[in-house]
């Protein structure tokens, strides 16, 4: 370890302190500001951590699916960030308690609303719980398979795992898409249950994949700065910049398409969702999205060659992650407040979850070698040239 011991302990202590303050503050939020604000922030951060974890697991499986070589030397980074998944699952299961607070279809008045009655076969607490548990189980199974399997391969050097990993990639993709769609519909879209948009699963996927790439890029660059990942060069993470550019454009395309189609037809049951998010001060928050989730990363990754200047990739990735957080915040908080909420409750809840998230990643960072040294494709990956 090239980093001095005192620095890492300092970091760890800061994170623990942050988490403790956050936890205490969270209780205060619940008591003073009410359960709605507490649970809404809980949901926002849980989904942030979940999408970051799932996005990185997706990157791991995607590499297997297409047989890419360039990403193999860096693959340990997303495998470690995927450790957010078990943490997020726990938080999500606790989040089940928020159902009566945040979700109108759980309340007794829903029985008088004919639209919610019609949706009741899907939107009822039992089926919701079954879906939640099923998703959690599937995610954990794939997480342990891919990540633990890769760590075990470090020692065993058995190429059979790589073959198995490739074979399981398509079922993972199918599972991933359906479970992520369920998250989008269950946890975000059903906050306003009369609204519907069949693109919504794709929308969440775009943000998830993009922030997965961003987190991976930051992880790779951070390790390189520390002197680890010595043989990984700019030709390896150049493709992260290209993928980042492509999916920045993809996210903007999906987001714009969904908005423009609903704006154009102006149907009452659809436009109301956007009304809540573009009025009363929310339009300023919405404006942050095209700036941080599109324009800044787009122009940075288009022009500045990340090969020569890794700081370009780093800033673009940070902008994307900030934009992703704003996105989830903008999707959820308008259901409890007609104006944007930004105060000490948001700050302490952020402390809690950021602390938890970073602590979890730190634990994972010490598992296994920094590169998947058991993978038979590693050599080809290291030799890879543009």
Partner 1 sequence: MKPATAPVPDVATSMPEGLKPFVLLEGAVTPASLDDQVLKFPAQRPPRAWYVAIAFTLSLLAIGLVSIGYTLYYGIGMWGNNRPVAWGFGIINFVFWVGIGHAGTLISAILFLFRARWRNAIARFSEAMTIFAVMCAAIFPVLHTGRPWFGYWLFPYPNERALWVNFRSPLVWDVFAVSTYFSVSLMFWYLGLVPDFASLRDRTEEGWRKRIYTVLSLGWRGATSHWLHYDKAYLLLAGLATGLVISVHSVVSFDFAVSLVPGWHMTIFPPYFVAGAIFAGFAMVVMALVVVRKTMNLSNLITDDHLDVMNRLILAMSCIMGYAYFMEGGTAWYSANPYIQHTFKNYVTGFYGWAGITTITCNIIIPQLFWFRRVRRSIPAMIFIAVAVTLGMWMERFVIIIISLHQDYLPSSWHNYIPTKIDFGVLVGSFGLFFTLVLLFARVMPVIATSEMKASLPGAQAHHGGTTL
Partner 2 sequence: MTSAPFAVLGLYSKAEKIIDAATKIRQRKLGHLEAYTPYPVHGLDHAIGLGPSKLGKLVMVMGLLGTGLALLFEGWTSAVDYPVITGGKPLFSWQAFVPVMFEVTVLFATFTAGLAMLFLFNKLPFFGHPVLHSKAIKDITRDKLALSIEQSGAALDIEAARNALLENGAETVEVVELPAWPRLTLVSLLRSMAAIVAACVVAGVGIYSIQKLLPVVLPMVHMHDQPKLNAFRSSTFFADGRGMQPAVAGTVARGHLPPAFSKPEEAGQILANPVALTKQVADRGHKVFNDHCAVCHGTVGDGVALLSRAYGAKPGNFMTAEMQKQPDGYIYGVLMLGKNAMPSYAADLDESDRWAVVHYIRILQRSQNAKDEDLK
Please say which residue, 109 or 266, places its beta carbon nearer to partner 2.
Answer: 266
What whole-number distance in Å separates Cα of residue 100 and Cα of residue 84?
26
Please say which residue, 45 or 185, places its beta carbon nearer to partner 1.
Answer: 185
Spatial CB neighbours of 167, under 8 Å, sequence gap ≥ 6: none
By CB under 8 A, residue 267 contacts partner 1: yes
Least distance CB 88 / partner 1 (angstroms): 23
The pair of structure tokens assigned to 320 is 């994307």
Please say which residue, 304 or 376, places its beta carbon nearer to partner 2.
Answer: 304
Contact stretch for partner 1 (CB under 8 A) within 6-14, 211-219, 256-264, 348-356:
256-264
What whole-number distance in Å separates Cα of residue 1 and Cα of residue 221?
16
Residue 33 interface partner, choices partner 1, partner 2, none, CB cut-off 5-8 Å depending on type: none
Contact stretch for partner 2 (CB under 8 A) within 27-35, 89-97, 262-270, 332-340:
262-270
By CB under 8 A, residue 115 contacts partner 2: no
Of 17, 27, 90, 118, which one interacts with partner 1 (CB under 8 A)? 118
By CB under 8 A, residue 271 contacts partner 1: no
Least distance CB 188 / partner 2 (angstroms): 23
Instruction: List the interface residues with partner 1, window 22-41 (CB under 8 A).
Output: none
By CB under 8 A, residue 257 contacts partner 1: yes
By CB under 8 A, residue 264 contacts partner 2: yes
By CB under 8 A, residue 121 contacts partner 2: no
Of 131, 166, 276, 307, which one interacts with partner 1 (CB under 8 A)? 166
By CB under 8 A, residue 70 contacts partner 1: yes
Residue 303 interface partner, choices partner 1, partner 2, none, CB cut-off 5-8 Å depending on type: partner 2
By CB under 8 A, residue 262 contacts partner 1: yes
Least distance CB 220 / partner 2 (angstroms): 25
By CB under 8 A, residue 368 contacts partner 1: yes
The 3-class secondary structure across the chain, one letter per residue, is CCCCHHHHHHHHHHHHHHHHHHHHHHHHHHHHCCHHHHHHHHHHHHHHHHHHHHHHHHHHHHHHHHCCCCCHHHCHHHHHHCCHHHHHHHHHHHHHHHHHHHCHHHCHHHHHCHHHHHHCCCCCHHHHHHHHHHHHHHHHHHHHHHHHHHHHHHHHCCHHHHHHHHHHHHHHHHHHHHHHHHHHHHHHHHHCCCCCCCCHHHHHHHHHHHHHHHHHHHHHHHHHHCCCCCCCCHHHHHHHHHHHHHHHHHHHHHHHHHHHHHHHHCCHHHHHHHHHHHCCCHHHHHHHHHHHHHHHHHHHHHCCCCCCCHHHHHHHHHHHHHHHHHHHHHHHHHHCCCCCCCCHHHHHHHHHHHHHHHHHHHHHHCCCCCCCCCCCCHHHHHHCCC
Instruction: List the interface residues with partner 2, window 293-322 (CB under 8 A).
Output: 302-303
Residue window 71-110: x/- pattern of binding to partner 2, with contact defined by CB under 8 A? ----------------------------------------
Residue window 221-250: x/- pattern of binding to partner 2, with contact defined by CB under 8 A? ------------------------------
Of 238, 259, 322, 358, which one interacts with partner 2 (CB under 8 A)? 259
């Amino acid at each position: 370890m090239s980093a001095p011991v005192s620095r890492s302990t300092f970091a760890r202590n800061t994170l623990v302190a942050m988490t403790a303050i956050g936890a205490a503050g969270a209780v205060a939020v619940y008591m003073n500001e009410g359960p709605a604000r507490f649970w809404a922030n809980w949901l926002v951060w849980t989904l942030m951590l979940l999408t970051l974890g799932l996005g990185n697991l997706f990157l791991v499986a995607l590499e297997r699916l297409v047989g890419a070589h360039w990403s193999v030397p860096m693959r340990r980074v997303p495998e470690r960030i995927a450790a957010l998944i078990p943490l997020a699952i726990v938080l999500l299961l606790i989040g089940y308690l928020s159902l009566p607070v945040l979700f109108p279809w759980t309340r007794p008045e829903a029985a008088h609303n004919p639209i919610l009655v019609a949706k009741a076969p899907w939107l009822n607490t039992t089926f919701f719980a079954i879906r939640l548990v099923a998703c959690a189980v599937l995610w954990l199974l794939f997480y342990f398979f891919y990540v633990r399997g890769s760590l075990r391969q470090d020692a065993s050097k058995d190429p059979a795992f790589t073959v198995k990993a490739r074979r399981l990639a398509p079922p993972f993709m199918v599972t991933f898409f359906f479970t992520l769609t369920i998250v989008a519909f269950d946890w975000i879209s059903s906050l306003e249950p009369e609204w519907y948009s069949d693109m919504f699963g794709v929308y969440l996927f775009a943000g998830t994949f993009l922030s997965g790439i961003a987190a991976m890029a930051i992880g790779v660059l951070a390790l390189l700065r520390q002197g680890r990942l010595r043989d990984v060069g700019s030709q390896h993470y150049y493709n992260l910049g290209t993928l980042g550019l492509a999916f920045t454009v993809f996210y903007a395309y999906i987001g714009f398409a969904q908005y423009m189609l609903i704006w154009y037809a102006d149907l009452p049951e659809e436009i109301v969702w956007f009304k809540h998010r573009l009025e009363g001060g929310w339009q300023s928050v919405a404006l942050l999205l095209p700036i941080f989730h599109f324009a800044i990363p787009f122009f940075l990754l288009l022009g500045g060659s990340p090969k020569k200047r890794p700081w370009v990739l780093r800033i673009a990735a940070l902008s994307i992650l900030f934009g992703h957080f704003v996105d989830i915040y903008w999707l959820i908080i308008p259901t409890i407040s007609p104006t944007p909420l930004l105060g000490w409750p948001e700050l302490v809840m952020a402390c809690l979850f950021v602390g938890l998230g970073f602590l979890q990643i730190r634990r994972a960072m010490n598992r296994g070698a920094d590169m998947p040294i058991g993978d038979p494709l590693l050599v080809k990956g290291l030799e890879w040239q543009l």
